[in-house]
Amino acid sequence: MRMPSILLIESLLLLSKAFANNRIRIEGNTDNTGNHDLNVVLSKKRAQSVVNYLVTTYQMPQNRFIVVGNGPDKPIADNGTE
């Protein structure tokens, strides 16, 4: 795992302890290449894999998370990058 990812996870852990009664929303995304419905499924699987990692590695409770698959519907960047 790269250093920025580790720092992000450590920040998430601190926030989750500070706001112990709140749920955490994890969203997955894809580009707009291919079938829309399959991209939505793929993006949800990506988000679920992040949750699985946090639950397994850091013993965070599964019920703290809301898992969302946005597919290509909420782009975080244009599709001009590789």
The pLDDT mean for the chain works out to 92
Question: Mapping DSSP to helix (H, G, I), strand (E, B) and coil, where does residue 26 land?
Answer: strand
Instruction: Please state, in angstroms and as integers, the Cα–Cα distance from residue 69 to each residue in 22, 24, 27, 28, 30, following that order.
Output: 20, 14, 6, 5, 9
User: Structure pTM?
Assistant: 0.86
Distances (CA, A) of 32 to 16, 42, 60, 81: 32, 12, 32, 12
Domains and CATH numbers, the chain: 22-74 (3.30.1330.60)
The predicted-structure confidence for 18-41, as pLDDT tens digits, reads as follows 999 999 999 999 999 999 999 999
